[in-house]
Amino acid sequence: MKILVLEGDGIGPDIVAAAVEVVKAADRRFNLGLELEVADSGLSSLEKNGSTLPEETWGKILAADGVILGPCHTAIYPAPEEGGINPSARLRTGLDLYANIRPSKIRPGVAAHVKEMDLIIARENTEGFYADRNMHQGSGEFMPTEDMVLAIRKITRRGSEQIARQACELATKRRGLLSIVHKANVMKVSDGFFVDICKEVADDYKLEVDEYLVDAMAALLVRKPDYFDVIVTTNMFGDIISDLAAELSGGLGLGPSVNAGDKYAMAQAAHGSAPDIAGQNIANPTAMILSAGMLLDTLGSRLSRPELLEAAKQIDEAIDAQLNEKNGRTPDLGGHIGTDAFGAGVAEKVRGGT
């Protein structure tokens, strides 16, 4: 099984190295048969190849079973025609990674802003308000006059059905509660369409289904986060409320995600590249390690390989054990160990099963 590693920018190489060490530990313990290869990407690739995502790398992506993508500093990328391709957007649309799955839960030893939380946000990943991924050609934003900008939002039946089914499948394995988040009181046609489709899909499952306006959901995540189980929503709403949920549970440094389609899957931490602390060995690799674990879990479910599922479970448990150690956390969580030491600690726990 081939896993392609794209290190990204900023703290990307630091935290990806920690995640790769943990994945290799799981590979050895559970005999997963993984082949990990690092390919050119990001700003280093731009300097070397003239592109942040060269065609050679794209070919390797298509040949891989899964991808680990480090955070990218896309804000300073040149225009796409000058080689500044957003790897995340290209992979999400080019591989039809329609589901962005973002869990948030309280972790032992980590100070959180709420007492209880264990939920998953299933975010539609390829359309919505995202101007760089909702048109066949060109951008979803355009400027008819110098005093006016218009933006197009795309909601399709296929996109809505896909993410709704992913969310329902997740809910059946958990507490059986599906919460649909939208703004159909204002965007009556587009969000109304999304809500109706989600309900149609949910009718195929034995679930409790409720719905909330996105602004109400933002408040309720603060007030009663323990109530929610699986939340399904559109692209931009999911991006925003998943960051809120991550911060409430202890910070974006703990926020993992997996981007999944029917054929491909990609691990990606929910946070950015933090260039101000790059190379200082102080970045928190928790989200990146957990994302890699989610990738193994996704592949395990898809390929019916229980050893991959067990490896993912062990990585999650090893993270909890590492975070719960008095001297086992990075500086952002009040600890004193470096990125590499954190990764080494988690890897050792995966190897030893503690």
pLDDT digits 0-9 by tens, 73-128: 999 999 999 999 999 999 999 999 999 999 999 999 999 999 999 999 999 999 99
Looking at every residue in the chain, the average pLDDT score rounds to 96
Give the C-alpha separation, 231 to 227, whole Å. 11
**142 and 208 assigned to the same domain:** yes
Please say if 239 is a catalytic residue: yes
Q: Spot the catalytic one: 77, 130, 212, 264.
A: 130
Q: Which residues pair with 178 in a beta bridge?
A: 209, 230
What is the per-residue burial (b if ≥16 Cβ within 10 Å, else e) of 96-128? bbbbbbbbbbbbebbebebeebebbbbbbbbbb
**Where does a domain end: 249, 279, 294?**
249
**11 and 133 assigned to the same domain:** no
- pLDDT above 90 for 18: yes
Domain assignment of residue 310, yes or no: yes
Q: Spot the catalytic one: 215, 224, 262, 263.
A: 215
Residues near 45 by Cβ (< 8 Å), separated by ≥ 6?
51, 52, 53, 54, 57
- For residues 24 and 16, is the Cβ–Cβ distance under 8 A? no
**69 and 88 assigned to the same domain:** yes
Look at the chain and report how many structural domains it folds into: 2
Backbone torsions φ then ψ of 273, nearest 5 degrees? -90, -10
Domain assignment of residue 108, yes or no: no
Q: With 0-12 CB in 10 A as exposed, 13-18 as middle and 19+ as buried, what is 37?
A: exposed
Domain assignment of residue 102, yes or no: no
**63 and 22 assigned to the same domain:** yes
Q: Which two tokens stand for residue 70?
A: 């480090």
Please say if 215 is a catalytic residue: yes
Place of tokens 């323990």: 226
Please say if 243 is a catalytic residue: yes
- pLDDT above 90 for 132: no
Place of tokens 């998953």: 120
Domain assignment of residue 147, yes or no: yes
Domain assignment of residue 58, yes or no: yes
**227 and 347 assigned to the same domain:** no
- For residues 119 and 229, is the Cβ–Cβ distance under 8 A? yes
**73 and 42 assigned to the same domain:** yes
- For residues 310 and 293, is the Cβ–Cβ distance under 8 A? no
pLDDT tens figures, 68-85: 999 999 999 999 999 999
| Residue 127: CATH number of its domain | 3.40.718.10
Which pLDDT score, from 0 to 100, does residue 354 have?
Answer: 55
- For residues 92 and 159, is the Cβ–Cβ distance under 8 A? no
Give the C-alpha separation, 139 to 152, whole Å. 9
- For residues 266 and 67, is the Cβ–Cβ distance under 8 A? yes
Q: Spot the catalytic one: 65, 243, 320, 340.
A: 243
- For residues 295 and 267, is the Cβ–Cβ distance under 8 A? yes
**132 and 217 assigned to the same domain:** yes
Q: Spot the catalytic one: 60, 154, 183, 349.
A: 183
Please say if 227 is a catalytic residue: no
pLDDT tens figures, 274-330: 999 999 999 999 999 999 999 999 999 999 999 999 999 999 999 999 999 988 999
C-alpha to C-alpha distances, 243 to 94, 166, 256, 271, 280, nearest whole angstrom:
24, 20, 10, 8, 25
**Ramachandran assignment for 5, one of left (phi > 0), alpha (psi -120 to 50 degrees), beta (any other):** beta
**53 and 119 assigned to the same domain:** no
Q: Spot the catalytic one: 239, 264, 316, 349.
A: 239
**Where does a domain end: 249, 284, 304?**
249
- pLDDT above 90 for 137: no
Domain assignment of residue 103, yes or no: no
End-to-end Cα separation, the chain, in angstroms: 26
Backbone torsions φ then ψ of 147, nearest 5 degrees? -110, 10
Range of the domain at 331: 1-97+260-354
**Where does a domain end: 249, 281, 297?**
249
**153 and 244 assigned to the same domain:** yes
